[in-house]
Amino acid sequence: MTRIIVADALDVVADGLRYRLADRSDLEIVAHAATGTELLDQLMYIEADLILLDVSLPGKDGIDTMRTLHRRFPGIRVLAYSALVAIEYVNSMLIEGADGYLVKGGDKEELIEAIRTTMAGGCHISPAARESVSKGYAYCDKRMDGEYIGLSQREREVIVLIAQERTNEEIGEIMHISPDTVKTHRKRVMTKLNVRTSAGLVKYAHDRRWV
Amino acid sequence: MTRIIVADALDVVADGLRYRLADRSDLEIVAHAATGTELLDQLMYIEADLILLDVSLPGKDGIDTMRTLHRRFPGIRVLAYSALVAIEYVNSMLIEGADGYLVKGGDKEELIEAIRTTMAGGCHISPAARESVSKGYAYCDKRMDGEYIGLSQREREVIVLIAQERTNEEIGEIMHISPDTVKTHRKRVMTKLNVRTSAGLVKYAHDRRWV
DNA sequence: GGAACAATACCCAGAAAGAGGGATTTCGCG
DNA sequence: CGCGAAATCCCTCTTTCTGGGTATTGTTCC
Q: Do residue B197 and residue A165 have CB atoms under 8 angstroms apart?
A: yes
Q: Does residue B27 carry a pLDDT above 80?
A: yes
Which nucleotide lies nearest residue B154, CA to C1'?
A: C7
Q: Does residue B211 carry a pLDDT above 80?
A: no
Among B1, B165, B204, the strongest candidate for a mutation testing the A interface, having the largest count of A CBs within 10 A, is B165
Q: Of the candidates A195, A199, A201, which has its C-beta nearest B162's C-beta?
A: A199
Q: What is the pLDDT along chain A (211 residues), one digit of tens a residue?
A: 889 999 998 888 888 899 889 888 889 999 999 999 899 888 877 888 899 999 989 888 888 888 788 767 767 889 999 888 776 788 778 777 788 888 887 788 888 888 888 888 777 888 777 655 543 333 333 343 333 456 877 888 888 889 888 999 989 988 889 999 999 999 998 988 889 999 999 988 877 767 6
Q: With a 7 Å cutoff on the CB, does A167 touch strand D? A: no
DSSP B145: G
Task: Say what the pLDDT of residue B176 is.
Answer: 86
Domain with CATH 3.40.50.2300 in chain A: 2-140
Spatial contact of B25 and B58, defined as CB atoms under 8 Å apart: no
- Taking residues B192-205, report their average pLDDT: 89
- Taking residues B78-107, report their average pLDDT: 82
CA distances from B16 to A2, B9, B27 (A): 47, 13, 14
Domain with CATH 1.10.10.10 in chain A: 149-207
Q: With a 7 Å cutoff on the CB, does A54 touch strand D? A: no
Between B14 and B137, residue with greater pLDDT: B14
Q: Does A197 touch chain B (CB under 8 A)?
A: yes
Q: Does B190 touch chain A (CB under 8 A)?
A: no
Q: With a 7 Å cutoff on the CB, does A181 touch strand C? A: no
Give which of B85, B98, B106, B81 is closest to B8, Cα–Cα: B81
Which nucleotide lies nearest residue A177, CA to C1'?
A: D8
Give which of A122, A95, A93, A121 is closest to A208, Cα–Cα: A121
CA dihedral A107, A109, A113, A119 (to 10 degrees): 80
Please give the ipTM for the structure prediction: 0.58
- Taking residues B190-210, report their average pLDDT: 85
Question: Å between B204 CA and D14 C1'?
Answer: 29
Q: Which CATH class is domain B2-143?
A: alpha beta
Q: Does A135 touch chain B (CB under 8 A)?
A: no
Q: Does residue B194 carry a pLDDT above 60?
A: yes
Question: Å between A133 CA and C30 C1'?
Answer: 21
Q: Would you tell me which CATH number, out of the four given (1.10.10.10, 1.10.3720.10, 3.40.50.720, 3.10.20.310), belongs to the domain B149-207?
A: 1.10.10.10
Spatial contact of B160 and B121, defined as CB atoms under 8 Å apart: yes
Q: Do residue B203 and residue A167 have CB atoms under 8 angstroms apart?
A: no
Give which of A108, A97, A18 is closest to A62, Cα–Cα: A97
- Closest CA of chain B from A185, distance in Å: 17
Question: Å between B188 CA and D21 C1'?
Answer: 14
Rg for chain B, CA atoms, rounded? 17
Task: Say what the pLDDT of residue B141 is.
Answer: 40
Task: Say what the pLDDT of residue A138 is.
Answer: 36
Residue A133 sits at the vertex; the CA angle it makes with A35 and A102, to the nearest 5 degrees, is: 45
A2-140 maps to CATH 3.40.50.2300: yes
Which nucleotide lies nearest residue A185, CA to C1'?
A: D7
Residue B103 banded pLDDT, cuts 50, 70, 90: confident
Nearest-by-CA chain B residue for A167: B197
Give which of B132, B160, B146, B155 is closest to B55, Cα–Cα: B132
